[in-house]
Amino acid sequence: MILLLLATVVLGQLHVLGVAWFGEFVPDPIVVLAAIAGLHWQRRRLLGAALVLGWGRSLILLEPAGAHILCAAIALTVVASQREAFDRERGMTLLFAALLAAGCWMGGAWALGATLDLGVSAGPSLLTGALLALPIAIPTRRVVRLARRRA
């Protein structure tokens, strides 16, 4: 969990730096973290992962943590529910899971905005962020296999 929090915060800060230089389409890596957690983490730990991802993101964006925790919980729950449909050994799976997480995060943010009149940041960088799944799919698979063997 601590590693996930640090990864969320550090990658989020680097994303802010990227946006400052290149604009709002710079990929946001949060959706890849959400996809990895949704595909590979034990189900009973998913809520903890949602808490960490949402809280970490809210620290960067200075928005209510509750909004991002709920968005993360929706994204993780949906991705985890599709585990059996995904072939987790294939490289493209992480990309599809990240796109699904991005869609859920954006949908959750839209729903919160529509019902509570809250501005929750969930822009196009989440969709472009899913593309980051392509270069890290193979290393992620190796790390997951290693972790399973150790467990």
Residue 122 interacts with other proteins (CB under 8 A)?
no
Smallest distance from the beta carbon of 60 to other proteins, in angstroms?
A: 5
| 64, 58 Cβ separation under 8 angstroms | yes
Nearest to 62 by CA among 3, 142, 100, 119: 119
- Both tokens of residue 7? 């990864």
Residue 65 interacts with other proteins (CB under 8 A)?
yes
How many other C-beta atoms can be found within 10 angstroms of the C-beta atom of residue 149?
7
Residue 67 interacts with other proteins (CB under 8 A)?
yes
- Please, which residue, 8 or 140, has the CB nearer to other proteins? 8
| 123, 24 Cβ separation under 8 angstroms | yes
Residue 17 interacts with other proteins (CB under 8 A)?
yes
List residues near other proteins by CB under 8 A.
5-6, 9-10, 12-14, 16-17, 20-21, 42, 44, 47-48, 50-51, 54-56, 58-67, 69-70, 73, 112, 116, 118-119, 121, 151
